[in-house]
Amino acid sequence: MNDTTITFEIDGIEVHGREGQTIMGAADTAGIYIPRLCAFEGLPAFGSCRVCTVKVNGRFQSACTQPVAEGIMVENDTDELLEFRRNIIDMLFVEGNHYCMFCEKSGNCELQALAYRFGITAPKYPYMFPADRNVDASHKDVFIDHNRCILCARCVRASRDLDGKNVFQFVGRGPGKRIAVNSRANLADTDLEVTDKAVEVCPVGAILRKHVGYTVPIGQRTYDHEPIGSDIEANKQ
């Protein structure tokens, strides 16, 4: 990435980016929030969740992977895109066990926070509840609840690119796709450590540390008072 300045628009607002920068990166710098779940600072873009979908010159693109270009017109905050994002979030809720009131990630969960931001109070699709998504609590410090996993690949990328371990990886295809660990048995047989970045980056309650549940009281958690994206919007130019 170099320092060449690229000027474009997001919802009619002039935004400046750099060559090689993504639309999401430039928007963050400008204080314009684009919702995301699979994207995470420090991880390579993946483009799987599609919550960050925008329109670039009238065509749908993922903001976390699409580079900026001179003069492009980006739509982010439109009724069409808001409805598209709501549908994605709704589908993620019904595909797994996301009972927020019983989850210790409540208040720190990005999926929950996005639902609040978009005004989703109850899913509109039928619940699925797949029967073959287990909980692996074999590790002494960490457990993984496959019924809460949204397949964002943050743990996969963090383990590979930041921890240098490759503990997590996808297996299967279509509805059978899931996160697996690099062990013949279970999570306890991997070299995962509680301090690994892969444990930290999960946006939902799928990968959690043991022994620390509810140490931060409800009412004092990340999204209890300010909606998700407020930290970015506070920097609006």
pLDDT digits (tens, 9 = 90+) for 89-129: 999 999 988 889 889 999 999 999 999 999 998 889 998 87
Q: What is the mean pLDDT of residues 155-182?
A: 94
pLDDT digits (tens, 9 = 90+) for 197-222: 999 999 999 999 999 988 899 899 99
Q: How far apart are CA 174 and CA 130, in angstroms?
A: 13
- Is 46 in the same domain as 117? no
- Is 44 in the same domain as 117? no
- Is 49 in the same domain as 138? no
Q: What is the mean pLDDT of residues 14-30?
A: 96
- Is 103 in the same domain as 72? no
pTM equals: 0.94
Q: How far apart are CA 32 and CA 195, in angstroms?
A: 32
Percentage of the chain lying above the pLDDT 90 cut: 83
- Is 109 in the same domain as 187? yes
Instruction: Show the tokens assigned to 49.
Output: 């969740």
Q: How far apart are CA 18 and CA 6, in angstroms?
A: 6
Band of residue 186 on the pLDDT scale cut at 50, 70, 90 = very high
Instruction: Show the tokens assigned to 99.
Output: 């009972």
**Which structural domain, as residue segments, surrounds residue 39?**
5-77
Residue 1 pLDDT > 60? no
Number of domains in the chain: 2
Is residue 220 one of the residues assigned to a domain? Answer: no
For position 205, which CATH number holds?
3.30.70.20
Is residue 221 one of the residues assigned to a domain? Answer: no
- Is 133 in the same domain as 94? yes
- Is 103 in the same domain as 143? yes
For position 45, which CATH number holds?
3.10.20.740
Is residue 219 one of the residues assigned to a domain? Answer: no
The mean pLDDT value of the chain amounts to 94
Q: What is the mean pLDDT of residues 19-35?
A: 97
Is residue 202 one of the residues assigned to a domain? Answer: yes
What's the pLDDT score for residue 122?
A: 87
Estimate the crossing angle of helix 79-94 against helix 110-117, to 10 degrees.
140
